[in-house]
Structure 1
Amino acid sequence: MPTFTSSKPSLINAQVVFVVDDDEVLRLAVASLLRSVGYNVREFSDPNEMLAHSLAAVAGCLVLDVRLQGYSGFDLQHRLSQSGNRMPIIFITGYGDIPMSVRAMKAGAANFLTKPFRSQELIDAVHDAVAIHEDYVEKQRAIESLRKRFECLTPRERQVMGGVVSGFLNKQIASDLDVSEITVKLHRANMMRKMHVNTIADVVRAGHQLEMS
């Protein structure tokens, strides 16, 4: 059994954390601990129930036992990965060994805790995992916003942006597109306005985020 000690509650804006463990005592203890520091916890004994939950796509972290009744935590990790769900996973187990932890981490686990573990270890692991996930989600939102702005560009403006991202000068882009340099400048100005960027460096950065080069 992990050792749970008291911890001072903190403000965490109620990020959603899933706990999957078929050991009811441990599951309730972990859920209670995480709720005590402000997390919005959903607990499950069955992985399939977790996958079907309405918050599965937005949860910030999953605390998962490696060995479940008739199920492997690694199987669930694989299913989440295959579905494109990037929820960070913290594995907990009473039967951990180095090969098992290496396997989990190579497959993308955020952490691997062996019972008994201190309550603060789990709190810290969840805090770090949620922070990493929030950063990922924020970056994805920024990229999606860029994509929407990019979709508003005309075909010619996209071509000009591609040239700028590739490091070409206006005259080189003009030659490549068989238009005047003035026309390229006009398209570039319109492109930058629609993309909400102010400098060429901003255009290049946006292009790299959109994987234009």
Structure 2
Amino acid sequence: MSSVPLISIVDDDPSMRVAVASLVRSLGYRTSEHPTAEDFLASGEWQQAGCIVSDIQMPGMSGIDLTRRLAELGSTIPVILVTARTETVLVNDAIEQNPIALLKKPFESEAFIEWIERALASKP
């Protein structure tokens, strides 16, 4: 098992997954990419991830539902949720799941990097 943290990226948009993974790898971290929350959960990888970056709006299980499911599984892995949507109900539902961050797309690389670092520093 590598001592380099694994950042798991869950997003149905292939270009977003590639862009985020490229940025994360440029920081020296390992990455994995998943097109759906269901795929990510089925991989069992959530148990090794140092941080999870998930889009909120995806077909099937949303990023909010993924965060809720991880909590039900007893996971303490920090989750960064990202979204292009700003509806109050959606934002409030996301915040209720206690992600380490909720970022609005498009987000600044510097802010994203700061949250990745915070997430990894907060992991028990």
**TM-score, normalised with respect to structure 2:** 0.90
Question: Quick one: distance in 1 between partners of 2:116 and 2:87?
Answer: 21
Q: Indicate the SS of the match to 1:108.
A: coil
Q: Indicate the SS of the match to 1:71.
A: coil
Question: Quick one: distance in 1 between partners of 2:76 and 2:19?
Answer: 25
Q: Does 1:50 align with 2:43?
A: no
Q: Indicate the SS of the match to 1:28.
A: helix
Q: Quick one: which amino acid aligns to residue 69 of structure 1? A: P
Of 26, 31, 51, 1:41 maps to 31
Greater RCO, CA 8 A, separation 6+: 2
Cα distance per residue 1:19-60 (max 9 Å; x no partner): 000000011000000000111111100212211224321211
- Map of 2:12 onto structure 1: 22
- Map of 1:59 onto structure 2: 49
Q: Indicate the SS of the match to 2:47.
A: coil
- Map of 2:119 onto structure 1: 129
Q: Quick one: which amino acid aligns to residue 74 of structure 2? A: G
Q: Indicate the SS of the match to 2:20.
A: helix
Q: Indicate the SS of the match to 2:81.
A: strand
Q: Does 1:71 align with 2:40?
A: no
Question: Quick one: distance in 2 between partners of 1:17 and 1:96?
Answer: 25
Match runs of 1:80-119 below 5 Å: 80-119=70-109
Q: Indicate the SS of the match to 1:90.
A: strand
Q: Give the structure with the higher percent helix.
A: 1
Question: Quick one: distance in 2 between partners of 1:101 and 1:91?
Answer: 10
Structure with greater Cα Rg: 1
**TM-score, normalised with respect to structure 1:** 0.54
2:10–2:55 contact (8 Å) kept in structure 1? yes
Question: Quick one: distance in 2 between partners of 1:102 and 1:37?
Answer: 31
Q: Give the structure with the higher percent strand.
A: 2
Question: Quick one: distance in 2 between partners of 1:129 and 1:15?
Answer: 11
Query: How well do the aligned residues superpose, as a CA RMSD in angstroms?
Result: 1.5
- Ranges in structure 1 where 5+ consecutive residues have no aligned partner: 1-12, 137-213
Q: Which runs of 4+ in 1 moved over 6 A?
A: none
Question: Quick one: distance in 2 between partners of 1:107 and 1:46?
Answer: 18
Cα distance per residue 1:105-149 (max 9 Å; x no partner): 33221000001111111111111011101xx2xxxxxxxxxxxxx
Cα distance per residue 1:134-185 (max 9 Å; x no partner): xx2xxxxxxxxxxxxxxxxxxxxxxxxxxxxxxxxxxxxxxxxxxxxxxxxx
